[in-house]
Structure 1
Amino acid sequence: MSDKVLVVEKKLKSDFRYFLLAIWKELALPDPTPLQYDIGKYLQHGPKRCIIEAFRGVGKSWITSAFVVWLLYRNPQLKIMVVSASKDRADQFSTFTKRLINTVPWLAHLSAGNEQRNSLHAFDVGPAQPDHSPSVKSVGITGQLTGSRADVIIADDVEVVNNSQTQTAREYLATLVKEFDAILKPLPTSRIIFLGTPQCEMSLYNELPKRGYECRIWPALFPSDEQVMAYAGKLAPFILEHPQYEHGSTTDPKRFSNEDLQERLLSYGKAGFALQFMLDTSLSDADKYPLKFSDLLIMSIPFQKGPTELVHTFDKDYGLGELPNMGLAGDRYFSPFYVAKELVDYQMRAMSIDPSGRGKDETAYAVGYMLNGNIFVPEASGLIGGYGPEVLESLAKIAKKHQVNEIIIEDNFGDGMFEALLKPVLSRVYPCSTLGQRQHIQKEKRIIDTLEPVMMQHRLAIDPRVVVSDYETTKSNPAYSLFYQMSRVTAEKGALGHDDRLDALAILVKYFQDMLEQDSHGAEQNRKDELLMNELQDFIDHAQGETGQNLYRNSWMADGLQPAWHKA
């Protein structure tokens, strides 16, 4: 082997960034960007337990696959386990790692021999000595972890939307990753490396530092001074010390332009962009998310008649932990402390619709009943299909099912078209009056201003079936969920990528607001007073045997008043 080859090999083994560049050239990829090199440097020199948070599309999984090959290039006896949220995702990582070995000519010696394991989910490298554990193994986070052993564990996107939507799911995921410590070999060189993008404000990656992990963050845009404080010392020095640091500009200009990221901001909404591209999970402002689940009343909504009075409580004994909870940390649902046993007819029934325009989003709807200042929501959801006949038919049937008195339709973008299309269907299925409504206030502010006071006064009751159905119908994309939208709406314009279901609920509540001026306790007391007076009147009628004119005459005489007809 020539001295030149030895020098090159020494460089490749001593600095992962040289190895990364060489691999990228073999794959005919553009040279790694400065930000990608910085991630590579941290992979090599980071602590035993570390978390790499980088924005979507930066290539952290590809870089780490190359890092796994580099580790085996330096020491073929290492055992590496790759864990992802799903088995399929973990297999993709190991498959790419295996392809690197088989594609790059100067890595051919690492290819598995005839007698070695050589599957997509578990394979050996050529120089590896016989062992119970393969050189590289891939497994899903809910798969068979017990009994495995590894020198290095790569946890690649173990947190995804489906396993982080609810508090129960987050707690389960946090428990699963504890198993890593039982798998890791007790060696000074052993490591656990998490790669990921936070999927919610209560991300697992916020909890791991409490277990001794160091977190390093590479956002897509250079943050403001206020944002820097929110990262609490987790920002990569590369970001803070970059010579071209300019708040709001791209941190990786060779791959993502400012214009590209602005388009993604509009697509994701501010809250989604903050998570997926800025890796910002801070909740420093208590008023940032004003709508709280804990202010709702969760109860079965009767169809024919409703309870005359409800009393809210924050008592933990009334907490509903069994319901899927997509809210923020510490927020939870509560059932009422008191529900009046007496049921009376609802004063009003209404349905609101937020059309999807031309099918771009959902056509969202909410149904509500009004009684004594309280709003009862037995159904709220969304339908895909825009102005399609199936959607119109379904909405008409829902209106009939709940016997609504009026349907309120937002017509900001359709100039009344949706209402015009719905009317003939209603006349056939369920004749009902409609009301078109135009909005002129910024949507987010209008939603908050409408819902926050009603919720804080505990006047909004929602059937638990709405919570469950909403979760089930939006599992694949929680951004469409009513309760996800409710818990994450802020006063900032464009705070949510989707807000249709929440907007439909706000339209419904706004319609009822005039009636909400009644005090529910006062209305109930007035009703009781009226019943008492009626009973007294019946008693007087029975005792005196008098009705109509004579009763009024006696009453007025008792007060020393006599009408003109009495004198006659």
Structure 2
Amino acid sequence: MIEAQAAERPADLLEFAWIWNQRAHLGTPGLHRRVLRWLQQAPASGDHRLLLMAFRGAGKSTLVGLFCAWRLYREPDTRILVLAADHALATRMVATVRRILARHPLCGALLPERAEGSWASDRFTVARPAVLRDASMLAAGIGGNITGARAELIICDDVEVAGNCDTPAKRAELRERLTEAEFVLTPGGTMLFVGTPHCAETLYADGQDGFLAGYRRLVLPLLDADGRSTWPERFPEDAVAKLRNRVGPLAFRRQMLLEAVAEEAARLDPALIARYAAEPDYREANGRGVLTLMGTRLVSGGGWWDPAFGRPGQGDSSVVAATFADGEGRHYLHRLAYVTHDPGAAEDPATQQCRTVAAIARDLLLPVLRVETNGIGGFLPGLLRQEIQRTGIACAVKEVTSRVPKVQRILGALDPVLAARRLSAHESVFRTPFPREMAAWRPEAAGARDDALDAVAGCLAAEPVRLPLLPPRANLPSWRGG
């Protein structure tokens, strides 16, 4: 029946998507209907430069995949190029469209008789009247070579990601590579950008000086002007609150509210850290050790050492942070030590500091110490293992090389736990310079004191993500004989 109706009148995009969703036993929510209408009407009204910004989890890539399949259904000679941050991401979009074409009841005529070399995961060619050199759909990473390709429709799907826009040089390179797409697009063709902002100088910034100035935009944040969810069936109020706590306010504003927020908008407020004075209590029960803090059982913990060997009070600080975590995802910053050495002592500075760090691990029963080996820390793990062995404790020493920029490490680890009020600190921590460093820290400030922040962030980021404990399932009555 569907095929007979299609022969009389080709389906519009909303009908095309509704048929697909019915086959997959899915609904078509109002948010999706709005996007689908916009994707069809904007090019039809003469707008061929488009930007679709929707919050993470809105299903925008799926909707754009349906749009591409519908475009091939209506115009089989269309050539589509998908650009993404890397080739694998672009291939996912092409594979999605290929799967839609293979299963959609209106697209049977597009399937080629022999799909051997022309029906791959990153490129395919439908049965079409024209004889063209380029595939019907092709995937390419933003760094790939697209010279010589031609396309009537270019989809730039998540070309901006956290890893290619965190420095001015990377942002300039991204824009330069995207300019190459202008030479691929045929006259009268459509360029569609799909994504979310990842930095303040985002590719999707509005205004006359923006890279996409003049583009017709559809911007769909998760929350409307009154703070209500635009997709309450999937993102109810409590789920939105939990998500904001998990990712932190900065990432939430960028990825879910689509705001190009600068890092300097983030402020680390020490008043958000709860204070306590208790010490961990170690006991053994039934032959197993149990460590508790204020009556709460601790399930993990460890230390992070960011070493430095300058003279005390000069240069970078050598900082050790020690944290614990309970089964509910709460973190406890129990010790923060600014490790120093005596320049006039007979022992070298490295041995002095390793001995101090080993004593901290012994006193707190730390199961692991992570040593940041960037720069001067390369030889320290072996020396620290020797000192730990002398103390007679079982503490693993792990070497860590940090490749993520320090600002991202600090914000990514501290911002979510502070927003969720899940970080507590021992009162001794507040007698160190840490609270002042934290209050004065600004992401954009060069040369700011952040050694302690970096060590605490390393501890928090190294903690495993734990699933909530579920109540045991009740035993069902047995219905089997015997």
Q: Does 1:219 align with 2:221?
A: yes
The CA deviation at 1:19 is: 1.2
Aligned to 1:141: 142
Report 1:3-18 matches (<5 A). 8=6, 12-13=10-11, 15-18=12-15
Aligned to 2:71: 71
The CA deviation at 1:18 is: 1.5
Is this contact kept in 1: 2:309–2:350, CA < 8 A?
no
Report 1:7-156 matches (<5 A). 8=6, 12-13=10-11, 15-28=12-25, 30-46=26-42, 47-114=47-114, 117-156=118-157
1:422-456 Cα distance to aligned partner (Å, 9 max, x none):
5999897289xxxxxxxxxxxxxxxxxxxxxxxxx
Q: Which amino acid aligns with 2:163?
A: N
Report 1:300-339 matches (<5 A). none
Distance 1:506 1:364, change over 3 A: farther
**CA distance, structure 1, for counterparts of residue 366 and residue 338 of structure 2:** 8
Is this contact kept in 2: 1:61–1:156, CA < 8 A?
yes
Count of residue correspondences: 357
Distance 1:131 1:172, change over 3 A: same
Aligned to 2:407: 483
Q: Which amino acid aligns with 2:136?
A: S
The CA deviation at 1:151 is: 0.3
**CA distance, structure 2, for counterparts of residue 378 and residue 119 of structure 1:** 55
**CA distance, structure 1, for counterparts of residue 433 and residue 121 of structure 2:** 55
Is this contact kept in 1: 2:110–2:127, CA < 8 A?
yes
Distance 1:495 1:169, change over 3 A: farther
Distance 1:88 1:491, change over 3 A: closer
The CA deviation at 1:27 is: 2.2
**CA distance, structure 2, for counterparts of residue 18 and residue 512 of structure 1:** 60
When the two chains are superposed, the root-mean-square deviation of aligned CA atoms in Å is 4.7
Report 1:159-558 matches (<5 A). 159-187=160-188, 190-206=189-205, 208-223=210-225, 247-283=226-262, 288-289=265-266, 358-359=299-300, 363-367=303-307, 375-377=314-316, 401=350, 403-404=352-353, 419-421=363-365, 429=387, 473-475=402-404, 482-484=406-408, 494-495=418-419, 509-510=433-434
Q: Which amino acid aligns with 1:401?
A: A
Q: Larger strand proportion, structure 1 or 2?
A: 2
The CA deviation at 1:248 is: 2.3
Distance 1:34 1:90, change over 3 A: same
Is this contact kept in 2: 1:79–1:149, CA < 8 A?
yes
Distance 1:148 1:428, change over 3 A: closer
TM-score normalised by structure 1 residue count: 0.53
Which has more radius of gyration? 1
**CA distance, structure 2, for counterparts of residue 424 and residue 96 of structure 1:** 44
Is this contact kept in 2: 1:55–1:218, CA < 8 A?
yes
**CA distance, structure 1, for counterparts of residue 219 and residue 368 of structure 2:** 56
**CA distance, structure 1, for counterparts of residue 423 and residue 203 of structure 2:** 26
Gaps of 5+ in 1: 224-246, 292-356, 388-394, 410-415, 432-468, 476-480, 514-568
Distance 1:423 1:100, change over 3 A: closer
**CA distance, structure 1, for counterparts of residue 214 and residue 432 of structure 2:** 48
Secondary structure at 2:156's aligned position in 1? Answer: strand
Secondary structure at 1:195's aligned position in 2? Answer: strand
**CA distance, structure 1, for counterparts of residue 148 and residue 352 of structure 2:** 59
Secondary structure at 1:192's aligned position in 2? Answer: strand
The CA deviation at 1:134 is: 0.9
The CA deviation at 1:35 is: 0.6
**CA distance, structure 2, for counterparts of residue 405 and residue 381 of structure 1:** 11
Gaps of 5+ in 2: 269-297, 327-336, 342-348, 370-383, 390-398, 438-482
**CA distance, structure 2, for counterparts of residue 213 and residue 248 of structure 1:** 27
Is this contact kept in 2: 1:163–1:169, CA < 8 A?
yes
1:64-120 Cα distance to aligned partner (Å, 9 max, x none):
111001101111111111111111111111111111111123311111232772222
**CA distance, structure 2, for counterparts of residue 51 and residue 380 of structure 1:** 46
Distance 1:512 1:267, change over 3 A: closer
Is this contact kept in 2: 1:91–1:138, CA < 8 A?
yes
Q: Larger helix proportion, structure 1 or 2?
A: 1
**CA distance, structure 2, for counterparts of residue 428 and residue 396 of structure 1:** 21
Is this contact kept in 1: 2:310–2:316, CA < 8 A?
no
Aligned to 1:392: none
Distance 1:511 1:106, change over 3 A: closer
Secondary structure at 1:265's aligned position in 2? Answer: helix
Q: Which amino acid aligns with 1:35?
A: L
The CA deviation at 1:48 is: 1.2
TM-score normalised by structure 2 residue count: 0.62
The CA deviation at 1:493 is: 8.4
**CA distance, structure 1, for counterparts of residue 258 and residue 368 of structure 2:** 49
